[in-house]
Protein backbone atom coordinates (compact mmCIF):
# COMPACT_ATOMS: atom_id res chain seq x y z
CA UNK A 1 0.00 0.00 0.00
CA UNK A 2 1.49 3.36 -1.05
CA UNK A 3 1.68 6.08 1.56
CA UNK A 4 0.04 9.36 0.61
CA UNK A 5 2.62 12.02 -0.28
CA UNK A 6 3.05 14.73 2.32
CA UNK A 7 2.93 18.23 0.88
CA UNK A 8 3.87 21.67 2.15
CA UNK A 9 0.17 22.57 2.09
CA UNK A 10 -0.61 19.66 4.43
CA UNK A 11 2.07 20.72 6.92
CA UNK A 12 0.85 24.31 6.74
CA UNK A 13 -2.71 23.19 7.47
CA UNK A 14 -1.64 21.10 10.47
CA UNK A 15 0.50 23.89 11.92
CA UNK A 16 -1.97 26.68 11.24
CA UNK A 17 0.50 28.73 9.19
CA UNK A 18 0.85 29.70 5.55
CA UNK A 19 2.62 27.67 2.84
CA UNK A 20 5.17 30.51 2.62
CA UNK A 21 6.14 30.03 6.25
CA UNK A 22 6.56 26.25 5.84
CA UNK A 23 8.66 26.80 2.72
CA UNK A 24 10.81 29.33 4.57
CA UNK A 25 11.39 26.96 7.50
CA UNK A 26 11.98 23.71 5.63
CA UNK A 27 13.55 24.86 2.37
CA UNK A 28 15.43 27.98 3.38
CA UNK A 29 13.34 30.24 1.13
CA UNK A 30 12.91 32.88 3.81
CA UNK A 31 12.87 36.10 1.77
CA UNK A 32 10.69 38.56 3.65
CA UNK A 33 8.73 35.86 5.49
CA UNK A 34 8.94 36.19 9.26
CA UNK A 35 8.26 33.53 11.91
CA UNK A 36 9.05 32.82 15.55
CA UNK A 37 11.30 30.11 16.91
CA UNK A 38 8.18 28.45 18.32
CA UNK A 39 6.71 28.31 14.82
CA UNK A 40 9.97 26.94 13.40
CA UNK A 41 10.00 24.16 15.99
CA UNK A 42 6.35 23.29 15.35
CA UNK A 43 6.84 23.09 11.56
CA UNK A 44 10.05 21.05 11.81
CA UNK A 45 8.48 18.64 14.28
CA UNK A 46 5.42 18.13 12.06
CA UNK A 47 7.60 17.59 8.97
CA UNK A 48 9.66 14.99 10.80
CA UNK A 49 6.62 13.13 12.10
CA UNK A 50 5.08 13.05 8.64
CA UNK A 51 8.40 12.05 7.00
CA UNK A 52 8.23 15.02 4.64
CA UNK A 53 10.48 14.77 1.54
CA UNK A 54 10.51 17.75 -0.83
CA UNK A 55 10.34 17.21 -4.60
CA UNK A 56 13.98 17.34 -5.70
CA UNK A 57 13.31 18.98 -9.07
CA UNK A 58 11.18 21.70 -7.54
CA UNK A 59 13.57 22.19 -4.63
CA UNK A 60 16.59 22.58 -6.91
CA UNK A 61 14.69 25.02 -9.08
CA UNK A 62 13.93 27.22 -6.07
CA UNK A 63 17.66 27.18 -5.22
CA UNK A 64 18.74 27.83 -8.81
CA UNK A 65 20.81 24.67 -9.02
CA UNK A 66 20.68 21.16 -10.47
CA UNK A 67 21.37 19.22 -7.28
CA UNK A 68 24.13 17.13 -8.87
CA UNK A 69 27.91 16.94 -8.61
CA UNK A 70 29.90 15.67 -11.57
CA UNK A 71 32.81 13.28 -11.00
CA UNK A 72 35.05 13.24 -14.06
CA UNK A 73 37.71 10.63 -14.80
CA UNK A 74 39.98 9.66 -17.66
CA UNK A 75 39.92 6.12 -16.35
CA UNK A 76 37.42 4.51 -13.96
CA UNK A 77 40.34 3.05 -12.01
CA UNK A 78 41.55 6.57 -11.10
CA UNK A 79 39.25 6.44 -8.05
CA UNK A 80 41.49 4.34 -5.77
CA UNK A 81 39.16 1.82 -4.21
CA UNK A 82 35.49 1.18 -3.61
CA UNK A 83 35.68 2.95 -0.25
CA UNK A 84 36.48 6.20 -2.03
CA UNK A 85 33.48 5.84 -4.35
CA UNK A 86 31.27 5.19 -1.34
CA UNK A 87 32.71 8.21 0.44
CA UNK A 88 31.99 10.47 -2.52
CA UNK A 89 28.41 9.28 -2.95
CA UNK A 90 27.63 9.29 0.80
CA UNK A 91 29.01 12.77 1.42
CA UNK A 92 27.27 14.14 -1.69
CA UNK A 93 23.95 12.77 -0.44
CA UNK A 94 24.59 14.19 3.03
CA UNK A 95 25.15 17.58 1.42
CA UNK A 96 21.93 17.23 -0.60
CA UNK A 97 23.45 16.42 -3.99
CA UNK A 98 23.33 13.43 -6.32
CA UNK A 99 26.52 12.15 -7.99
CA UNK A 100 26.96 11.94 -11.76
CA UNK A 101 29.93 10.00 -13.14
CA UNK A 102 31.45 10.53 -16.59
CA UNK A 103 34.64 9.60 -18.43
CA UNK A 104 36.75 12.24 -20.14
CA UNK A 105 37.91 11.60 -23.68
CA UNK A 106 38.94 13.27 -26.93
CA UNK A 107 39.92 16.58 -25.33
CA UNK A 108 36.30 17.72 -25.26
CA UNK A 109 34.29 19.55 -22.65
CA UNK A 110 32.46 16.89 -20.62
CA UNK A 111 28.88 16.36 -21.72
CA UNK A 112 27.36 17.07 -18.30
CA UNK A 113 29.19 20.43 -18.32
CA UNK A 114 28.17 21.33 -21.87
CA UNK A 115 24.55 20.48 -21.16
CA UNK A 116 24.59 22.34 -17.83
CA UNK A 117 23.33 19.50 -15.62
CA UNK A 118 25.86 19.61 -12.76
CA UNK A 119 26.62 22.29 -10.18
CA UNK A 120 30.30 21.46 -9.68
CA UNK A 121 33.09 19.08 -10.71
CA UNK A 122 35.33 16.71 -8.77
CA UNK A 123 38.34 15.48 -10.76
CA UNK A 124 41.02 12.90 -9.96
CA UNK A 125 43.32 13.66 -12.86
CA UNK A 126 44.75 16.78 -14.51
CA UNK A 127 42.95 17.32 -17.81
CA UNK A 128 45.41 20.00 -18.93
CA UNK A 129 45.34 23.79 -18.84
CA UNK A 130 43.31 24.18 -22.06
CA UNK A 131 40.44 21.92 -20.95
CA UNK A 132 40.53 23.38 -17.44
CA UNK A 133 40.21 26.90 -18.86
CA UNK A 134 37.24 25.86 -21.03
CA UNK A 135 35.49 24.16 -18.09
CA UNK A 136 35.91 27.25 -15.93
CA UNK A 137 34.19 29.37 -18.60
CA UNK A 138 30.98 27.63 -17.53
CA UNK A 139 31.36 29.28 -14.11
CA UNK A 140 31.04 26.11 -12.03
CA UNK A 141 33.28 25.25 -9.07
CA UNK A 142 36.03 22.69 -9.69
CA UNK A 143 38.05 20.61 -7.21
CA UNK A 144 41.04 18.50 -8.25
CA UNK A 145 42.22 15.66 -6.01
CA UNK A 146 45.98 15.08 -5.82
CA UNK A 147 47.18 16.23 -9.25
CA UNK A 148 50.10 18.15 -7.70
CA UNK A 149 49.44 21.29 -9.69
CA UNK A 150 50.34 24.23 -7.48
CA UNK A 151 49.40 26.96 -9.97
CA UNK A 152 45.72 26.14 -10.34
CA UNK A 153 42.90 27.00 -7.90
CA UNK A 154 40.82 24.28 -6.32
CA UNK A 155 43.59 21.67 -6.00
CA UNK A 156 43.95 19.38 -2.98
CA UNK A 157 47.61 18.45 -3.33
CA UNK A 158 49.40 15.85 -1.24
CA UNK A 159 52.55 17.18 0.42
CA UNK A 160 55.07 14.84 -1.23
CA UNK A 161 58.03 17.07 -0.34
CA UNK A 162 57.02 17.14 3.32
CA UNK A 163 56.66 13.35 3.35
CA UNK A 164 60.13 12.80 1.89
CA UNK A 165 61.55 15.16 4.52
CA UNK A 166 59.85 13.17 7.29
CA UNK A 167 61.00 9.80 5.97
CA UNK A 168 64.60 10.86 5.38
CA UNK A 169 64.78 12.32 8.90
CA UNK A 170 63.32 9.17 10.46
CA UNK A 171 65.67 6.89 8.56
CA UNK A 172 68.63 8.97 9.69
CA UNK A 173 67.47 8.77 13.30
CA UNK A 174 67.41 4.98 12.88
CA UNK A 175 71.02 5.00 11.71
CA UNK A 176 70.21 4.43 8.02
CA UNK A 177 71.73 6.48 5.24
CA UNK A 178 71.32 5.01 1.75
CA UNK A 179 67.67 5.50 0.83
CA UNK A 180 65.94 3.89 -2.13
CA UNK A 181 62.58 4.71 -3.71
CA UNK A 182 60.66 1.90 -5.43
CA UNK A 183 57.88 3.47 -7.48
CA UNK A 184 54.85 1.77 -9.01
CA UNK A 185 52.69 4.75 -10.03
CA UNK A 186 52.71 7.13 -12.98
CA UNK A 187 55.67 9.23 -14.08
CA UNK A 188 54.34 12.44 -12.52
CA UNK A 189 54.49 11.14 -8.96
CA UNK A 190 57.76 9.31 -9.60
CA UNK A 191 59.41 12.53 -10.72
CA UNK A 192 57.92 14.54 -7.85
CA UNK A 193 59.08 12.05 -5.24
CA UNK A 194 62.52 11.63 -6.79
CA UNK A 195 63.15 15.37 -6.67
CA UNK A 196 61.72 15.75 -3.16
CA UNK A 197 63.76 12.83 -1.84
CA UNK A 198 66.94 14.19 -3.42
CA UNK A 199 66.42 17.53 -1.65
CA UNK A 200 65.63 15.82 1.65
CA UNK A 201 68.83 13.75 1.52
CA UNK A 202 70.89 16.78 0.59
CA UNK A 203 69.55 18.79 3.55
CA UNK A 204 70.50 15.97 5.92
CA UNK A 205 73.92 15.33 4.31
CA UNK A 206 72.88 11.81 3.32
CA UNK A 207 74.14 10.05 0.18
CA UNK A 208 72.17 10.58 -3.02
CA UNK A 209 69.03 8.46 -3.02
CA UNK A 210 68.56 5.77 -5.68
CA UNK A 211 65.27 4.81 -7.31
CA UNK A 212 63.49 2.54 -9.74
CA UNK A 213 60.13 2.79 -11.49
CA UNK A 214 58.88 -0.80 -11.78
CA UNK A 215 57.67 -1.87 -15.20
CA UNK A 216 55.80 -4.99 -14.00
CA UNK A 217 53.13 -3.32 -11.88
CA UNK A 218 50.01 -5.45 -12.17
CA UNK A 219 50.49 -8.40 -9.83
CA UNK A 220 46.86 -9.39 -10.38
CA UNK A 221 47.64 -10.08 -14.05
CA UNK A 222 50.43 -12.55 -13.34
CA UNK A 223 53.42 -10.25 -12.98
CA UNK A 224 54.30 -11.39 -9.45
CA UNK A 225 57.46 -13.25 -10.46
CA UNK A 226 58.52 -10.55 -12.91
CA UNK A 227 58.20 -7.74 -10.35
CA UNK A 228 59.99 -9.87 -7.74
CA UNK A 229 62.95 -10.35 -10.07
CA UNK A 230 62.89 -6.67 -10.97
CA UNK A 231 63.13 -5.70 -7.30
CA UNK A 232 65.94 -8.21 -6.73
CA UNK A 233 67.86 -6.81 -9.67
CA UNK A 234 67.53 -3.30 -8.29
CA UNK A 235 68.74 -4.33 -4.82
CA UNK A 236 71.71 -6.21 -6.28
CA UNK A 237 72.64 -3.12 -8.26
CA UNK A 238 72.63 -1.01 -5.08
CA UNK A 239 73.81 -3.30 -2.24
CA UNK A 240 74.41 -0.35 0.13
CA UNK A 241 70.69 0.42 0.36
CA UNK A 242 69.55 0.24 3.99
CA UNK A 243 66.24 2.14 3.83
CA UNK A 244 63.47 1.65 1.28
CA UNK A 245 60.35 3.64 0.46
CA UNK A 246 57.90 1.56 -1.57
CA UNK A 247 54.97 3.29 -3.21
CA UNK A 248 52.25 0.66 -2.79
CA UNK A 249 51.57 -1.87 -0.06
CA UNK A 250 50.75 -4.64 -2.52
CA UNK A 251 54.38 -4.74 -3.68
CA UNK A 252 55.72 -5.02 -0.13
CA UNK A 253 55.43 -8.86 -0.04
CA UNK A 254 57.70 -8.98 -3.11
CA UNK A 255 60.15 -6.63 -1.43
CA UNK A 256 60.14 -8.68 1.78
CA UNK A 257 60.71 -11.86 -0.23
CA UNK A 258 63.56 -10.30 -2.20
CA UNK A 259 65.31 -9.15 0.96
CA UNK A 260 64.88 -12.57 2.58
CA UNK A 261 66.29 -14.29 -0.50
CA UNK A 262 69.32 -12.00 -0.30
CA UNK A 263 69.86 -12.75 3.42
CA UNK A 264 68.90 -9.27 4.61
CA UNK A 265 66.61 -8.74 7.61
CA UNK A 266 63.97 -6.09 8.26
CA UNK A 267 64.50 -3.70 10.03
CA UNK A 268 68.02 -4.55 11.26
CA UNK A 269 69.62 -4.45 7.82
CA UNK A 270 66.98 -2.54 5.90
CA UNK A 271 64.13 -0.30 7.05
CA UNK A 272 61.00 -0.40 4.90
CA UNK A 273 58.10 2.06 4.69
CA UNK A 274 55.15 2.10 2.28
CA UNK A 275 53.53 5.33 1.15
CA UNK A 276 50.16 3.58 1.07
CA UNK A 277 48.39 2.29 4.18
CA UNK A 278 46.38 -0.86 3.45
CA UNK A 279 45.52 -2.75 6.68
CA UNK A 280 44.78 -5.90 4.65
CA UNK A 281 48.49 -6.11 3.84
CA UNK A 282 50.59 -4.48 6.56
CA UNK A 283 49.17 -6.71 9.31
CA UNK A 284 49.96 -9.88 7.35
CA UNK A 285 53.64 -9.11 6.91
CA UNK A 286 56.34 -10.03 9.40
CA UNK A 287 57.51 -7.60 10.63
CA UNK A 288 54.39 -5.46 10.29
CA UNK A 289 54.86 -2.89 7.56
CA UNK A 290 55.28 0.78 8.51
CA UNK A 291 53.27 3.05 6.25
CA UNK A 292 52.10 6.60 5.60
CA UNK A 293 48.67 8.18 5.55
CA UNK A 294 47.23 11.65 5.34
CA UNK A 295 47.43 13.46 8.67
CA UNK A 296 44.39 14.06 10.89
CA UNK A 297 42.48 11.21 9.18
CA UNK A 298 41.74 13.46 6.22
CA UNK A 299 39.69 11.77 3.49
CA UNK A 300 40.51 13.83 0.40
CA UNK A 301 37.50 12.67 -1.60
CA UNK A 302 35.11 13.61 1.21
CA UNK A 303 36.94 16.90 1.81
CA UNK A 304 36.73 17.63 -1.91
CA UNK A 305 32.96 17.14 -1.89
CA UNK A 306 32.59 19.34 1.20
CA UNK A 307 34.62 22.17 -0.35
CA UNK A 308 32.76 21.81 -3.64
CA UNK A 309 29.34 21.99 -1.97
CA UNK A 310 30.38 25.03 0.03
CA UNK A 311 31.55 26.74 -3.17
CA UNK A 312 28.25 25.89 -4.89
CA UNK A 313 26.29 27.50 -2.06
CA UNK A 314 28.48 30.57 -1.55
CA UNK A 315 29.63 31.12 -5.16
CA UNK A 316 33.14 31.61 -3.76
CA UNK A 317 36.16 29.94 -5.46
CA UNK A 318 37.62 26.80 -3.88
CA UNK A 319 41.02 27.52 -2.30
CA UNK A 320 43.90 25.12 -2.95
CA UNK A 321 45.15 23.14 0.03
CA UNK A 322 48.28 21.16 0.84
CA UNK A 323 47.46 17.88 2.61
CA UNK A 324 50.18 16.64 4.94
CA UNK A 325 51.20 13.03 5.56
CA UNK A 326 52.10 11.29 8.79
CA UNK A 327 54.17 8.14 9.31
CA UNK A 328 52.54 5.15 11.01
CA UNK A 329 55.46 3.31 12.57
CA UNK A 330 55.19 -0.43 13.00
CA UNK A 331 58.00 -2.98 13.15
CA UNK A 332 59.62 -2.49 9.74
CA UNK A 333 61.37 0.80 10.41
Write the pLDDT tens digit of every residue in 222-254. 446 888 899 999 999 999 999 999 988 888 999
Domain 8-62 matches domain 160-294 at the CATH topology level: no
Query: Residue 287 — φ and ψ, nearest 5°?
Result: -75, 160
Residue 146 or 92, more confident: 92
Out of 36-45, 68-77, 197-206, give the one with best mean pLDDT: 197-206
Q: Which residues contact 20 (CB under 8 A, 6 or more apart)?
A: 33
- Range 160-294 classified under CATH 3.40.50.2300: yes
For residue 217, pLDDT beyond 90: no
Q: In whole angstroms, give the CA distance from residue 141 to residue 297.
A: 25
d(CA 262, CA 324): 35
Asked if residue 127 has pLDDT above 90, the reply is no
Residue 293's pLDDT band (cuts 50, 70, 90): very high
Q: Which of 81-90, 132-141, 197-206 has the highest mean pLDDT?
A: 197-206
Pick the CATH number of 8-62 from 2.60.290, 2.60.40, 3.40.1350, 1.10.260: 1.10.260
- For 146-201, write each residue's pLDDT tens digit: 877 778 889 999 999 999 999 999 999 999 999 999 987 766 688 889 999 999 99
Quote the pLDDT of residue 317: 86
pLDDT 10s digits, 254-290 = 999 999 999 999 999 999 999 988 888 888 899 999 9
Interacting residues of 310 by C-beta distance below 8 A, sequence separation 6+: 316, 318
User: For position 2, what pLDDT does the model report?
Assistant: 43
Exposure of 150 in the CB half-sphere (CA atoms within 13 A) = 7
Topology annotation, domain 68-157+299-324: Rossmann fold (3.40.50)
Backbone Cα Rg of the chain: 26
- Selection from 248, 250, 247, 282 nearest residue 266 by Cα: 282
CA 175 to the chain's CA centroid: 34
**Helical packing angle, 19-27 and 37-49, nearest 10°:** 80
Q: Could you state, in order of their start, the residue ranges of all structural domains in the chain?
A: 8-62, 68-157+299-324, 160-294
pTM, two decimals, is: 0.76
Amino acid sequence: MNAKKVTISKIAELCGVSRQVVSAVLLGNKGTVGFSEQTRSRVEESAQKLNFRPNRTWLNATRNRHGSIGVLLKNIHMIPGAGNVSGIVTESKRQGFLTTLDLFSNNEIPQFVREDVVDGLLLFEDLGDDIDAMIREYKIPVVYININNFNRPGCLNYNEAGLMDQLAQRFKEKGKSQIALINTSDELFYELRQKALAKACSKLNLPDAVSVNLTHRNIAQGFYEESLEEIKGFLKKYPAVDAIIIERDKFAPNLYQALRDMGRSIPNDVSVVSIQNDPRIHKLLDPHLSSCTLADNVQPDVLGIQLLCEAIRTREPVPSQLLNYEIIERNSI
